[in-house]
């Protein structure tokens, strides 16, 4: 990737410098913000949009090409790092050269001297072209070196496309491996100059299990940089997954493959794969966010804390942050929150007291019956929302317990169905309370349990 410097000063139509103005940079014919860098090597990414300085200046490095810039509701197209367009004067000069050449051609019919002059002129042009070609070749070599360095620092060992394994149709003790393209990146010999081997495998059919695979149930299939396939015990090691391409595993009983599973290191869309993991793990509390009784009442306090929730802190107002997934939540004394049930499609009204008298079996808010000690468990969730009063949600319990101690014993056990709207919220604690509680600070009436990082609701 060849980077080029863009630098300019922006002015308002009034003639004043355009300071502190966000400038968004898009590749031509695209609505995706272009990657920007602070240095020519492309090692220091900067935010897009960029903001004009106190002198109205903007400067960044970007891959050479055509772009359009948007600033203060105005947009314009520009070429960055491209050869300048032919000016009218240059075009006129070219036209003049054509006229001269036409005159020279006409002169050929008149005199050999004219032809010799034309040959001399053409030779000068050839010399110029040869110089230009040498310069271009040097530029290409520099680009290729940068591209190689980029591949070395970004490529992992894995499969880029293809590579499905399946049981061979003619032999139940053999597998077929579909064609695939992959890479093996080896940092072992020289961490500063790792080797990158591109594997363009044509595929194979009827690859039989070896004696080792026939002697165990589960076998992993690996390929080295020479496209040699080996069968090893599963699971594979961290080292093996770096020096070999992991194709998948098989399980066999009596020489018959019963399970065939393609399990490569997938090189496609690594950012999306990380997002898959973050979504699967869900939001969680990093630190703080402690729930405690407010006093001799049914209110609670929440301390300040830090919360992991994918992309919730990407922007603070209009400013992009360098900590996009971890938000700092404010303390609330007393806390305000809204209630929900397992099936609600909207959250309840804003309040600051625990509704100890009700629970919600099957999503239906129902008065708690039984004796004075009958209890339920209220579960507290925290969103990394910008609006403090909309951060806390409490879900009604779905069960009742004959005593407060039984409710506390049930915390983290049994089944519980969180409302789907809470998928972007972190679970931070339990409030077990009797149905007639009036004082959450009284351990005979209520017990507050703050959850761990990955609790069971």
Q: pLDDT category, 282, cuts 50, 70, 90?
A: confident
- Which of 43-47, 290-294, 313-317 has the weakest average pLDDT? 313-317
Q: Supply the pLDDT for residue 359.
A: 97
* Average pLDDT value for residue range 37-49: 95
pLDDT higher than threshold 70 for residue 152: no
Instruction: Express as a percent the part of the chain with pLDDT over 90.
Output: 71
pLDDT higher than threshold 90 for residue 381: yes
pLDDT higher than threshold 60 for residue 156: yes
Q: Supply the pLDDT for residue 421.
A: 96
pLDDT higher than threshold 60 for residue 53: yes
Q: Supply the pLDDT for residue 98.
A: 85
- Which of 63-77, 146-160, 405-419 has the weakest average pLDDT? 146-160
Instruction: Express as a percent the part of the chain with pLDDT over 70.
Output: 97
pLDDT (tens digit per residue) in 204-222: 999 999 999 999 999 999 9
Q: Supply the pLDDT for residue 26.
A: 97
Q: pLDDT category, 150, cuts 50, 70, 90?
A: low
What is the SS3 string spanning the chain? CCEEEEEEECECCCCCECCCCEEEEEECCCCCCCCEECCCCCCCEECCCEECCCCCEEEEEEECEEEEEEECCEEEEEEECCCCCCCHHHHHHHHHHHHHHHHHHHHHCCCHHHHHHHHHHHHHHHHHHHHHHHHHHHHHHHHHHHHHHHHHHHCCCEEEEECCEEECCCCCCEEEECCEEEEEEECCCCCCCCEEEEEEECCEEEEECCHHHHCCCEEEEEECCCCCEEEEECCCCCCHHHHCEEEEEEEEECCEEEEEEECCCECCCHHHHHHHHHHHHCCEEEEECCEEECCCCCCEEECCEEEECCCCCCEECCEECCCCCEEEECCECCCCEEEECCCCCCCCCCECCCCCCEECHHHCCEECCCCCCCEEEEEEEECCCCCHHHCEEEECCCCCECCHHHHHHCCCCCCCCCCHHHCCCEEEEEEEEECCCCCCCCCCCEEEEECCCCCCC
Q: Supply the pLDDT for residue 436.
A: 97
Q: Supply the pLDDT for residue 148.
A: 59
**Can you list the domains of the chain with their CATH numbers?**
3-80 (2.60.40.10), 88-151 (no CATH), 159-262 (no CATH), 282-450 (no CATH)
pLDDT higher than threshold 80 for residue 151: no
Q: pLDDT category, 422, cuts 50, 70, 90?
A: very high
Model pTM score:
0.63
* Average pLDDT value for residue range 31-54: 95
Average pLDDT, the chain: 92
pLDDT higher than threshold 70 for residue 438: yes
Q: Supply the pLDDT for residue 141.
A: 76
Higher per-residue confidence, 136 vs 232: 232
């Amino acid at each position: 990737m060849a980077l080029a410097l863009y630098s300019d000063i922006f002015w308002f139509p009034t003639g004043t410098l355009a300071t502190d103005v966000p400038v968004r940079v898009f590749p031509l014919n695209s609505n995706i913000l272009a990657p920007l860098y602070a240095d020519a090597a492309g090692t220091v990414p900067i935010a897009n949009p960029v903001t004009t300085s106190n002198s109205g200046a903007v400067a960044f490095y970007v891959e050479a090409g055509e772009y359009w810039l948007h600033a203060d509701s105005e947009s314009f197209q520009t070429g960055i790092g491209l050869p300048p367009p032919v000016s009218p004067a240059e075009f006129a000069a070219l036209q003049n050269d054509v006229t001269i050449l036409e005159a020279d051609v006409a002169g050929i019919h008149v005199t050999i001297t004219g032809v010799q002059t034309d040959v001399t002129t053409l030779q000068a042009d050839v010399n110029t072209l040869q110089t230009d070609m040498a310069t271009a070749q040097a530029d290409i070599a520099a680009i290729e070196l940068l591209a190689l360095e980029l591949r070395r620092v970004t490529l992992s060992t894995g499969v880029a496309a293809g590579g499905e394994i399946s049981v061979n149709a003619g032999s139940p003790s053999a597998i077929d491996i579909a064609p695939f393209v992959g890479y093996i990146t080896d940092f072992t010999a020289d961490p500063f100059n790792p080797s990158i081997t591109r594997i363009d495998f044509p595929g194979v059919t009827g690859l039989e299990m070896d004696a080792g695979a026939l002697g165990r149930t589960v076998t992993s299939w690996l390929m080295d940089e020479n496209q040699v396939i080996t069968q090893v015990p599963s699971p594979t090691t961290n080292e093996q997954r770096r020096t070999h391409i992991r194709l998948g595993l098989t399980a066999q009983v009596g020489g018959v493959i019963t399970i065939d599973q393609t399990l490569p290191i997938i090189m496609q869309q690594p950012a999306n794969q990380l997002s898959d993991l973050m979504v699967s793990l869900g939001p969680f509390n990093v630190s703080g966010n402690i729930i405690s009784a407010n006093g001799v009442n049914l209110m609670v306090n929440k301390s300040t804390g830090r919360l992991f929730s994918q992309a919730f802190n990407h922007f603070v107002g209009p400013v992009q942050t360098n900590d996009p997934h971890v938000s700092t939540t404010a303390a609330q004394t007393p806390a305000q929150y809204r209630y929900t049930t397992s099936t609600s499609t909207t959250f309840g009204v804003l309040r600051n007291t625990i509704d100890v008298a009700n629970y919600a079996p099957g999503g239906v808010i129902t008065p708690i019956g039984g004796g004075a000690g009958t209890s339920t468990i209220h579960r507290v969730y925290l969103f990394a929302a910008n609006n403090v009063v909309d951060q806390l949600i409490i879900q009604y319990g779905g069960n009742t317990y004959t005593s407060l101690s039984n409710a506390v014993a049930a915390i983290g056990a049994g089944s519980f169905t969180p409302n789907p709207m809470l998928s972007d919220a972190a679970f931070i604690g339990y409030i077990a309370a009797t149905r007639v509680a009036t004082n959450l600070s009284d351990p005979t009436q209520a017990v507050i349990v703050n959850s761990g990082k990955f609790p069971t609701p």
